[in-house]
Structure 1
C-alpha cells in the first residue's frame, strides 16, 4: 500500500521545489525592478529640479530685462509721454 502513494509524494515534492525556484527568481526580478524604478525616479526628479531652476532663472532674466526696457516706455507711469522726460523725483 505504500507503493501507490510514493509517486504522488514525489510529484508533490518536485512541484514544491519547482515552485520555490520560480518564486525565488520572481522575487529577485522584482527587487531589480524596484531598484531600477528608484534610480529612474531619482534621475527624473533631478531633471525636473534642474528644469525648474532654469525656468526660474529665465523668468528673473526676463523680468530684469523688461524693467530696464520699460523705464522709458508708456508702461512706466513715471514716464512723461508729452515732455519726453522722467517725472520721478530724484535727490540728485
Structure 2
C-alpha cells in the first residue's frame, strides 16, 4: 500500500499498539532519524529500524507504544524531526548568509 506521494511507504504490520513500515528505495538514514525522535516520546515502548541486507532489502521501522497510537507517535516524531531540520536550516543560513 502506498501511503505517501513523496515516497513509497508500505504497512507491513499494524495493530492497536504496534506498527511495522517498509520504506521503498530510501536510505537507512531516514528510518534512523525517525527512530531517534520516536525514542523521545514517553508513550513509545520500542522503536527500531533495521534492514536485513543493505543492497537487497528496504529499510523498515518498528514502533510499539504503551499509550495512544503508533501512527500518532510516528507523526509526532516526523513533525519534531522537521522542526529540528528547519532550525538547522535557519542556523546555516544565519551563519553562512
| TM category, shorter | 0.3 to 0.5
Structure exhibiting the larger radius of gyration computed from Cα positions: 1
TM-score, L = length of structure 1: 0.34
Looking at secondary structure, tell me which structure has more helix per residue.
Answer: 1
TM-score, L = length of structure 2: 0.32
Larger RCO (alpha carbons 8 Å, 6+ apart):
2
